[in-house]
Amino acid sequence: MNYIEVEFTLEPLIEAREVLMAELSELPFESFLDTETGLKAFIREKDFSESMLENLLITTLREFKVSYLIAHIPNHNWNEEWEKNFQPIVVAGHLRIRAVFHEPDLQVDHEIIIQPQMSFGTGHHATTYLMCEEIMNMNWDGKLVLDMGSGTGILAILAMRLGAKTVDAIDIDEWSVNNISENIELNNTKGISIFHNDINELKNSPRVFDVVLANINRNVLLADFAVYIQSLKPGGDLLLSGFYNDDSEMLLAKAGSEFALVSKILRDDWCMLHLRKLHSKSPT
């Protein structure tokens, strides 16, 4: 499967990058890399149309200067691209996420090893960081967990490391499914079942979970929310990310009276919501 790389040059850098990321996250772009002058975005060739770029709102805003270059990325170039850019990251001082080609660090409590490939969720993006940070603050002993849109499998692996009984990891992307399998083996984390599917894997399923993790994007979260409710035990935890803080009220409204807000944390204006399903609906 071939990919398209779009390299954006932005001015002013930080402000323009935030606006652009918000727009691209609503399109089928799968991975992003910050650069010194802007941003690289990756999308499957079959999903790409240059009209996507021509219709970006940011290009019409006078306060921003945006230019871009488009390149075709064959499969065999992807690992090399990541190895050039991927650096270890430490989450909240306790979790280190590194690639197989980095040396271990014995000073951290937990270390996850991944084989970087064309899949989302390396820990560098603010939403993955936020999810990892919240996961480390929870009790996972014996929990049945769903990781929806698993990407590299970092969240599934971390939940298992912290004591989860089982994790169902679901992703629609073939690259991600293969990468999750690789990363599970690298981290020797048994108990993770991988499913190559989308939310349809759960519809009409008898499976229920103690915790549902969904780090995807706002539109998918809103569309699939009813299935998350169905799949979560009363008293269970729902962790959501993949959206900006401005979108959090929309998701809280979708949760309605069936959930209580446990915590809300931000990083670079990206948001993570930790919700808990109530044992019964509040009286109206």
- In order, the DSSP letters of the chain are --EEEEEEEEESHHHHHHHHHHHHTTTT--EEEE-SSEEEEEEEGGG--HHHHHT-GGGG-TT-EEEEEEEEE-GGGHHHHHHHH---EEETTTEEEEETTSPP-TTSSEEEEE---S-S--S-SHHHHHHHHHHTTS--TT-EEEEET-TTSHHHHHHHHTT-SEEEEEES-HHHHHHHHHHHHHHT-TTEEEEE--GGGTTT----EEEEEEES-HHHHHHHHHHHHHHEEEEEEEEEEEEEGGGHHHHHHHHGGGEEEEEEEEETTEEEEEEEE-SSPPP-
Output the pTM of the full model: 0.75
Which residues have CB under 8 Å from 88's CB, separation 6+?
Answer: 96, 97, 98, 99, 102, 105
What CATH homologous superfamily does 126-277 map to? Vaccinia Virus protein VP39 (3.40.50.150)
**Distance between CA 273 and CA 216 in Å, rounded?**
13
Give the pLDDT of residue 29.
Answer: 86
**Distance between CA 228 and CA 247 in Å, rounded?**
18
Architecture of the domain whose range is 3-78: 2-Layer Sandwich (3.30)
Residue numbers of the chain with a pLDDT score lower than 50? 119, 282-284
Give the pLDDT of residue 77.
Answer: 57
- Domains of the chain by residue range: 3-78, 126-277
Give the pLDDT of residue 250.
Answer: 94
